[in-house]
Amino acid sequence: MSATTERGAAVGAVGSVAAGADGAAAATPVISVHVPPHSLASELRAIRIVWQRDLIRFVNDRIRIAATLVQPLLFLFVLGSGLQRLSSAGTHGVNLKTFIYPGILCIAVMFTAMFSAASIVWDREFGFLREMMVAPVRRSSIVIGKCLGGATVACSQGIIMILLAGLVHVPYAPLLILAIFGLQLLLAFTITAFGVMIAARIKQMQAFFGVMQMIVMPMFFISGALFPASGLPQWLEILNRLDPLTYAVDPMRRLVFSHLHVSAAARAALDPGVTWWGWHVPGLLEAGVIALLGLAMLAVAIAEFSRVE
């Protein structure tokens, strides 16, 4: 079918060239178009369209939406229900699913954000990156648009996880939901920036996912998403405090626990909070750590992409 379309078009085009050569003026006037010099407004337009593209692609890709949800749901319901039988003594009557829910809220956006960043590697492989790289816009606009796109897409997954709160005995309090969402957005942005930074250097999809697996899984396990961050063996405690994800999981858990009715003993055991040399790190500072890391990685990503010829 497409062959005939093409042939038809070919004949049409050759015909119209002949007509043009005969001196017949073009039927419709040419629409005059002008590309203005660059300005702040034009860069914002570039950021918006790069962001929008990620959204359009995500909405069209239902399989991906489903696939990235599988892993967090597995952790939450299978691991949560299964291990509950072993650990009911240690959780002071709190359901294990409720305990790991804050961690799952974090990793759900983390996996999706990684996927979004990976699309830069695809774009390079399929050539589309070039279309963006030769456009008369700053590379920084492209990178920022990409990170915002990844964060938005990841947060749409995050919302699905928030909606599950009732199933793990967490109340639907508007303020809680808002705070969780804000924290997810921050984490998603930082993780996308991290992925984009890696994608600037790693050009093959397999290698990219390999590196991601190597970094993401340890980050997840060490972060305290599945266990309280106190009373750990010292080596693990050190690793835990170095893991950036710790500073997303901890405030997330504090938020959720502040809306639960649990005994003081359960709170002390399950939500001890992260400490630095005995000092209790406040939630806002933890969020600040995530934000700062995100901005630093965004800066590196921009520098990397601006350097490429």
Partner 1 sequence: MSDSAATDAGIVSTARSPDGAAVWVDGLVKRYAEVEAVRGIDFEVATGEVFGFLGPNGAGKTTTINMLCTLVKPTAGAARVAGHDVVRERDDVRRNIGLVFQDPTLDAYLTAAQNLRLHAELYRLEKKVIAPRMRQVLEMVGLWERRSSTVGTFSGGMRRRLEIARGMMHSPRVLFLDEPTIGLDPQTRRSIWGYIGELREREEITIFMTTHYMDEAEWCDRIAIMDHGQIVALDAPEELKSQVGHDRVTINTDDDDAAIAALRERFGVEARVHEGAVTFGVPGGEQFVPRLFDEWDPAHPPIRSVSVSRPTLDDVFMSHTGTTIRDAEEDQAKNRNRMMVQMMGGGRR
Residue ranges that bind partner 1, judged by CB under 8 A: 2-3, 5-10, 12-14, 16-17, 20-21, 26, 28, 30-38, 42, 45-46, 48-49, 53, 56-57, 60-61, 123, 126-128, 130-137, 309
For residue 45, which amino acid is it? R
- Sign of dihedral through CA atoms 20, 24, 26, 32? positive
Q: Write down how long the chain is.
A: 309
**Minimum CB separation from partner 1 for residue 114, in Å?**
19
C-beta of 10 vs 285, nearer to partner 1: 10
d(CA 206, CA 183): 30
**Minimum CB separation from partner 1 for residue 198, in Å?**
22
Question: For residues 61, 300, 181 and 165, what is the CA-based torsion angle, rounded to 10 degrees?
Answer: 70
Do 119 and 54 contact (CB within 8 A), yes or no? yes
C-beta of 18 vs 265, nearer to partner 1: 18
C-beta of 31 vs 242, nearer to partner 1: 31
**Minimum CB separation from partner 1 for residue 126, in Å?**
7
C-beta of 118 vs 293, nearer to partner 1: 118
**Minimum CB separation from partner 1 for residue 138, in Å?**
9
| HEC sequence for 46-115 | HHHHHHHHHHHHHHHCHHHHHHHHHHHHHHHHHHHHHHHHHHCCCCCCCCHHHHHHHHHHHHHHHHHHHH
**Minimum CB separation from partner 1 for residue 206, in Å?**
20
**Minimum CB separation from partner 1 for residue 156, in Å?**
17
C-beta of 137 vs 193, nearer to partner 1: 137
Do 221 and 205 contact (CB within 8 A), yes or no? no
Do 196 and 117 contact (CB within 8 A), yes or no? yes
Nearest CA to 133 out of 300, 309, 296 is that of 309
C-beta of 17 vs 295, nearer to partner 1: 17
